[in-house]
Homo-oligomer: A and B are copies of this chain.
Amino acid sequence: MNSKRVENFSAVLSIPGDGGMPPPPPPMEVHRVCMPPHRTTVQKLRQRLGEIFFPDNPLHMFKDQSRVKRLLLSLQFFFPVLEWGPNYSLRLLRSDVVSGLTIASLAIPQGISYAKLANLPPIIGLYSSFVPPLVYSLLGSSRHLAVGPVSIASLVMGTMLTEGVPHGGDNHVLYLKMAFTATFVAGIFQASLGFFRLGFIIDFLSKATLLGFMAGAAVIVSLQQLKGLLGIVHFTTKMQIIPVLSSVFHHTDEWSWQTIVMGMVFLILLLSARQISVWKPKYFWISAAAPLTSVIISTCIVALLGPKAHKIDTIGHLPKGLNPPSSNMLYFHGPYLGLAIKTGIITGILSLTEGIAVGRTFAALKNYQVDGNKEMMAIGLMNMAGSCSSCYVTTGSFSRSAVNYNAGAQTVVSNIIMATTVLITLLFLMPLFHYTPNLILAAIIITAVIGLIDYQAAFRLWKVDKLDFLACICSFFGVLFISVPLGLAIAVGVSVFKILLNVTRPNTCVLGNIPGTQVYQSLSRYRTAIRIPSFLVLSVEAPIYFANSTYLQERLLRWVREEEERAAANKESAIKCVVIDMSAVTAIDTSGIDTIRELKRVLERQSLKLVLANPLGNVMEKLHKSNVLEELGGDGLYLTVAEAVADLSMLKPGGYEP
């Protein structure tokens, strides 16, 4: 461990090999491996908690500010409207009005359709497109999020409540109560995730899981819409694919040809409009205007046909007027409370995931930041407010937000414009929907959800990461054949299993020196890398934990055995020293420390020396605290593999003799 022994270095390190090899690297100094700076347990705990709950350091802008400025900043922090409000201009307003009207034309038919998807009265969908967007425009920090009911959350709420609440009698009131309560629970849950800064929980729904889940849900939803498109009256309330398909084909006598013809025509029109926007994004307004246009045309047709179209099911009477208060309908006791809580939490997580992902996507496109935890509080408060004003679960919708963005929305004012348009509809235009056929709602839902089936993304998953693809497939089939919560649970399980698998069976490899450098890399990957005689350099690419310590011990000893056999077969000099490159060992626990100790003992019994190279800070700390460093001895720890090899070759020119 001393730089005076440097003189005869290159002689010792001369490696037998091909003649064209570059000259050996220049003499090398040996550096001490440092401990991380000392911190007390409290300091460490504080830093750890800071990283867990405040990774973005949300208060950094308050630093070094006057008291008044701080007050202003905190008001702006809680009400982002105060940040952009003062700079709001007529030019911005013009853009926002255009985009607000555009998303309103989409929100009204979608609101009615999604409410039907959730088995709720259509009017609830319109109520939900009025209050929540207004609340969000005060609290939300995304400028492009178009708030309202969304397909996935509606579907999940519809499924879970329909399967749990008994049918018949007065139960539609119970169902409504349950829906509002679930919305309230969802809001509370979302707001507390944000408040307690536990937003990272939604990260466990990986993109792969969501991809499969959304595709599965889209298939189920589309098939369920066959009820409306074929005119079937008796349809299952279950959500698995088998009962849905059997409902479709067991009631062929209920199929109505008028409904089928009209439904197919409009479905093809809507799908074509959607396809045009996919091919040419600048014609986004075609797909944005198509739903409202279809509703208007189909309503006119049915109204004109009159009694001839009696087989075509219509929405019927809708009450006029503003959202009635519903806080008296929240249901906080009784046998169905558990169901409401479960439904609330699952729809809450799913709608949160969609809202945050959509917000982040468009924020990234326009280069501004969306604070996840703050967004969660905004979405949560908006749902809590919604549950008291006859709204069900809402969030930022991906399709409407994309239209909003393309239509040139600049701020959340576009949401206010949308809410105002919905308000006018609620106050004056409700009778116009009397003759709107249900089949058009089914066609709108199918067109909306069909885009969720992204088979190209699934193919990319397959190409890049097979286990991500497995998680995707599991959630797809789980949702199709079992149920939404269980399908999601299975997919999260697969994702966590993948993490554990990587920890339980980490990669290990033999390293060699890249000639002319001090770099050691995997021999199987770098063909130019060469073995150093008498040394076996191993790399462990994972933390050493209880879950892999037995495996690693066996695997490393197997490498030693195999290398010894190889050296003997090739008549090379026997291994005398095993160097473990710890650069990728990101953590160690007490079982891992025991493994290192045990490994040292076993190797010593085979007259081999164990050397560790480049342990990371926290690993170093634990090695020190458990006295392993002392047991390794003065020449058992080096800053780099190159320094270890150079120093140990020099110390004992004939190799290491224990």
Contacts and interface: CB of A to CB of B under 8 A. Distances in A.
Q: Which of A52, A586, A602 has the most CB of B within 10 A?
A: A586
B56 A558 contact: yes
Interface string A512-545: 0010111101101111000000000000011101
A34 interface: yes
Given A367-B605, A618-B507, A525 B590 contact: no
A519 B466 CA distance: 35
Nearest to A36: B525
Q: Which of A367, A546, A558 has the most CB of B within 10 A?
A: A546
A404 interface: no
A468 interface: yes
B617 A499 contact: no
Contacts of A200: 504-505, 547, 550-551
Contact of A551 (B55, B524, B605): B55
Contacts of A503: 499
Interface in A369-393: 372
A87 interface: no
Number of copies: 2
A367 B598 CA distance: 11
A589 B498 CA distance: 10
Interface size class of A (residues with CB under 8 A): 35 or more
Nearest to A356: B550
B203 A546 contact: yes
Nearest to A622: B464
A46 interface: no
Contact of A558 (B41, B48, B55): B55
Contact of A37 (B502, B525, B625): B525
Contacts of A517: 29, 31, 640
Given A35-B525, A56-B554, A546-B495, A590 B505 contact: no
Interface string A259-299: 00000000000000000000000000000000000000000
Given A525-B36, A584-B583, A505 B51 contact: yes
A41 B466 contact: yes
Nearest to A44: B466
A265 B522 CA distance: 65
A45 B468 CA distance: 14
Interface string A59-97: 000000000000000000000000000000000000000
Contacts of A45: 466
B460 A590 contact: yes
B640 A507 contact: no
A545 B583 contact: no
Contacts of A541: 586, 616
A584 B587 contact: no
Contacts of A601: 364
A406 interface: no
A238 interface: no
Contact of A616 (B57, B505, B584): B584
Given A460-B626, A502-B586, A586-B502, A617 B546 contact: no
Interface in A603-639: 605, 616-618, 622, 625-626, 639
Contacts of A605: 367
A591 B206 contact: yes
A521 B34 CA distance: 10
A519 B583 contact: no
A45 B203 CA distance: 27
A547 B617 CA distance: 23
A555 B583 CA distance: 21
A368 to B, nearest CB: 11
Interface in A471-510: 495-496, 498-507, 509
A336 interface: no
A554 B52 CA distance: 12
A214 to B, nearest CB: 15
Given A34-B526, A56-B558, A499-B503, A590 B465 contact: yes
A593 interface: yes
A68 B461 CA distance: 48
Contacts of A48: 505
Contacts of A465: 589-590, 622
B590 A208 contact: yes
The 10 closest A-B pairs by CB, nearest first: A206-B546, A541-B586, A584-B584, A36-B525, A464-B626, A583-B583, A464-B625, A56-B554, A468-B590, A51-B505
28 contacts: A34-B521, A34-B525, A45-B466, A52-B501, A55-B554, A57-B558, A200-B504, A203-B547, A203-B549, A203-B550, A206-B591, A207-B546, A364-B601, A464-B590, A464-B626, A468-B590, A495-B547, A498-B589, A499-B499, A499-B500, A499-B543, A502-B543, A502-B587, A507-B618, A521-B639, A522-B617, A584-B616, A586-B586
Given A55-B558, A506-B586, A518-B518, 16 more contacts: A31-B517, A37-B525, A52-B504, A55-B555, A56-B555, A56-B558, A203-B548, A206-B547, A208-B589, A496-B496, A496-B500, A499-B547, A502-B543, A542-B586, A584-B584, A586-B586
